[in-house]
Amino acid sequence: MSIKVGVVGGSGYTGGELLRILSFHPGVEIVGVTSRKFKGEPVHRAHPNLRGLVTLKFTETLEPVASALDWVFIALPHGESMKVTPRFTASGIGVVDLSADFRLKSAESYKTWYGREHMQPDLLDRAVYGLPELYGNELKRARLIAAPGCNPSAALLSLAPAVSNRLIENGPVTVTALVGSSGAGRSSSVTSSHAERTGVMRAYSVANHRHTAEIEQELSRLAGSSMSVAFTPVSVNNIRGILTLSHAGGRARVEELWKAYREFYRGRKFVRIVRDQAGELQRYPDPKFTLGSNFADVGFESDARLSRLVFFGALDNLVKGAAGQAVQAFNIAAGLDESTGLLQPPLHPA
């Protein structure tokens, strides 16, 4: 019997990717999708790529189908999700939230980084951080899943084996994320217009970007002690994809790094280790070779001269960085194989 799911906030880029993936998921049936802007309109008005594939119409709420729902995916802006999540959790409906509202474990930290009081602090302890490669066991019992941000996903996946094996010797870890335009969402602004966005390589939120808190929280848990992160995102002239480039002190040899990464990601279907010095098209991770897929590519290099380690993380920000990872975490919580509906290979060329 299919698991009945709904999507709240289905007209954005992430909502569209959720609908694309879930529409071909063999274990689920989409019974409702909401959008205030497109209320009453067919899904293909917001997502022309889904014409003929998703035949639902947008509704303002999921109330008409609430009694049928088993799980809900919430793709609302930060600060909005926490307003609606309790309605579902109180009814026993599982929730996968793709905003930042339940990622941080401290209400005080949320206020510091997001500039508002958390409305549902009692739910923070119940939420499981939805990065399956780190929290696979916890997700098996989850009913509220906080899907990670796209930048933290790339950074954490690339750094986790080194941190957990104590291969990073001093901090802070410096992370630069090269981010495609879809990472900013669908809302328009002057900086997202074609004339201003094309050809750009623009650093923003250079210090104290709010994703810093998420990366520090999870790296500190892996390390067993507090870790500091200097995180800076840079907008680049791509539509999709993220590449994180991280630097940290350390003297581990490449052979040690290979061993740590192979062991950490053994059996993990969606993380690929890329360090191919004979490669013609790809020697280190490049998001170009992940587009349209739920794969994340990670890699590393050792700079013995400076006792420096370099780490790479590449993924499609809308799939492994958002909708695909949310479905992967849901699969585990629902008792399905984590790869169900997600084994499409990346597009090439793209």
Task: List the catalytic residues.
Answer: 150
* Sheet strands (E) in the chain: 3-8, 28-33, 71-74, 94-97, 128-129, 144-146, 170-179, 202-203, 229-235, 242-249, 271-273, 296-303, 308-315
| Whether residue 172 has a cis bond before it, omega within 30° of 0 | yes
Whole-angstrom distance, CA of residue 183 vs CA of residue 240: 7
Pair of tokens at residue 177: 């994320």
Whole-angstrom distance, CA of residue 144 vs CA of residue 71: 10
- Secondary structure (3-state) at 4: strand
Phi, psi values for residue 123, rounded to 5°: -90, -10
b/e burial code for range 231-262 (CB count within 10 A of at least 16 → b): bebbbbebebbbbbbbbbebebeeebbeebbe
Nearest to 324 by CA among 263, 240, 260: 240
First to last CA, the chain: 36
